[in-house]
Amino acid sequence: MKMTRRFTLPLFLFLSLVGFASCQGVTEGAPADANRLPEPRNIILLIGDGMGFNHVLAANYYEHGQEGAQVYEQADWIRLASATYNSVTRISDGDTIYTGGYSAQDAWTNAEYLNRAATGSAESATAISTGIKTYSTAIGIGTRGDTLTHISQAAKTLGKSTGVVTSVPLSHATPAGFAAHNESRHNFGEIAAYLLFHTRLDVIMGAGNPDYNNDGQPEQVSERYIGNRGFWEQLKANDGRTEFVVDGETLLVLDANGDGQRDPWTFIESREDFLSLADGPAPPRVLGVPRAYSTLHYGRSGEEALLPFERPLNPEVPTLVEMTRAALNVLSNNPTGFFVMIEGGAIDWAGHDNHLGRMIEEQIDFNRTVEAVVDWVERYSSWEETLVIVTSDHETGYLTGPDHPDPVMAPVVSRGKGQLPDGVWHSDNHTNSLVPFYAKGPGAELFPLLAGEFDPVRGHYIQNSEIAQAVFLMWGKPGISSHRLR
C-alpha cells in the first residue's frame, strides 16, 4: 500500500487545492469560469520509447555539439522527470508481488539498483494512458483483470478524433497501450484486430507490413503483427467495406465519429501516400501501414555502420516526421479537437542492441518529429488550445558516460559535432531510472503541481500514471456525468 500512497498523494493535494478554490466562490467581476481547469482542444503526446536523459544528450552532442539544443528543452517548456515503475512485478499462484517503486537515494549510490524492477513498454503505456499502474505485459488491463479507461476514450466522449502513430509495428506495446485491452502485449494478432475492429480510433499508423522486409523491399513475411492474411488482403482492397469475413467470422468496423454509421478504413502504404496526405483534403479515417516490416528504418541492412544515417534510409518508406504530418492533417479536420499518441519506438530497439549510432539516428528522427508538431501548432493551431507532452516510457540500455559508476548514471561526454559521444551501455534491457518529461500548452502548468517527489539530480518528478490523471481532470473520464470538476 505504500506504493499507492506515493503516486496518488500529489494528485490528492492538488484536488484539495482545487476544491478549496472552488469553495471560495468567484471573485466579484471575474469571469464565470475563473476557477475552471484548462481544457485543451488538442493533446499531442509524444513518447520516445526507451529514451533516457543520456539518449537525448547523446543526440544533442552528435547533431549540435552542445546540450539543451532541442525545442522541448527550452525555457518556455515545463521540464520535469517521470518515474516509470509498474505496480506489480508478477502475479503467481494467487500471490501479487508488488514492486519497490523508485528510491532516489539508491538510484544514485548503487549502480546495480537501476537494473531492478524496471517496467516494460506495455504496462508503462497503460499507466500513461489510463492513470493506473499495472502488471508486466498488461495492455489496458488492471492488476485485478479489470478493463481500464484510456485517454482516447475520454477524447471520444467529448467528440474528438483520436489516433496512434508509431515507427514500430502498429500492434506493438505502446500504440496498443493507448487504445486496446489485452492480458499480454505478445498477442499481436488479437491486438491488431482489436485496434481495427473494436476501437473508434480515426488514425492508426505503424509498421508491420507483411508484404515487405526491413529494407522496404517486396517479400512475404510473417503476418504476426497484423494477425491474419485474410483481413489484411481485404483491408488492402481499400474498397470502403465495413464488413470483413475471415475464416467464417464476421468482423465489423465501428462508428468512429458518432453519426450512427460504421466508418471504413482508408488504407495507405506508399511513402507518396503519406506525403500527399500531409496537406489538403483528407479522408476521415486512415490506416497507414508503411512498406516496412518491423520498423520504419531501424531494421534496415547496414547495421555495421557506426555513424547515424551512414546507411541511407529506405527510400520508399516514410519517416516518423512524414507520418506525423499526415496524421495531424487527418485528425485536425475535427473542429472539436483530437488526441494522438506518437511514438519513436525504435529508440528502444537500438538500446536493446546497444547500437549507439542507430540510437542517435532514431532519437534525431524523434526530435525532428517534435519539431514538426511544434510547427503544426504554431501554423495551424496555437499554444492556447493545444497541449504537447514529450516523455518516455522507460530508459533502455543503461546508457552512461565513461565515468560511471562514479558518479552513477554519469552523463555521456561530447567529442564534438558529427562525432559519436563517449557513451557506455551497461545492459541490453530496461532500467528503473527516471526519464525526461516536457510539456507546453494549456494544462502544462498542472504537472509541476503533481510533481510531489524530488530526486537530487533530476529534481521534481511525477509518476507516469499522473499524465492521464491530469488529462482526466481536464477532459473528464467516461462514466462521470459531467466532464467538469465541480
Band (pLDDT 50/70/90 cuts) for residue 17 is very low
State the average pLDDT for the chain.
91
Q: Which helix (H) or strand (E) holds 174?
A: helix 173-176
Closest CA to 357 of 431, 428, 435, 418: 418
pTM of the predicted model over 0.85: yes
The per-residue pLDDT for range 107-138, each reduced to its tens digit, is 999 999 999 989 999 999 999 999 999 999 99
Mean pLDDT of 234-248: 94
Band (pLDDT 50/70/90 cuts) for residue 247 is confident
Q: Contact at 8 Å (CB) between 293 and 213? A: yes
Band (pLDDT 50/70/90 cuts) for residue 22 is very low
The per-residue pLDDT for range 349-377, each reduced to its tens digit, is 999 999 999 999 999 999 999 999 999 99
- Share above pLDDT 90 across residues of the chain, in percent, rounded to a whole number: 85
pLDDT surpasses 50 at 18: no
Which cell is 279 given?
Answer: 496537406
Region 39-218+269-475: CATH code = 3.40.720.10
Closest CA to 2 of 113, 100, 116, 130: 100
Whole-number pLDDT of residue 92: 66
Please, what is the Cα angle at 191 between 292 and 228, to 5 degrees?
60
Closest CA to 196 of 158, 251, 258: 251
Task: Please give the single-letter amino acid code of residue 194.
Answer: Y
pLDDT surpasses 80 at 35: no
Least confident range from 20-24, 40-44, 251-255: namely 20-24
* Conformation bin of residue 272: beta by default, left when phi > 0, alpha when psi is -120 to 50: alpha
Mean pLDDT of 231-251: 94
Band (pLDDT 50/70/90 cuts) for residue 97 is confident
CA distance 205 to 217: 19
Whole-number pLDDT of residue 364: 98
21 by DSSP, 3-state: which?
helix
Please enumerate in sequence order all residues whose Cβ is within 8 A of that of 248, keeping only pairs 6 or more positions apart, or say none: none
Residue 168 CA from chain centroid, whole number: 12
Longest Cα–Cα distance in the chain: 70
Closest CA to 341 of 147, 483, 199, 138: 199
Alpha helices in 34-168 (DSSP H): 53-64, 104-109, 121-130, 151-157
Query: Domain coordinates of the chain in residue numbers?
Result: 39-218+269-475
The per-residue pLDDT for range 450-470, each reduced to its tens digit, is 999 999 999 999 999 999 999
pLDDT surpasses 60 at 184: yes
pLDDT surpasses 90 at 4: no
pLDDT surpasses 50 at 9: no
Residue 238 CA from chain centroid, whole number: 28
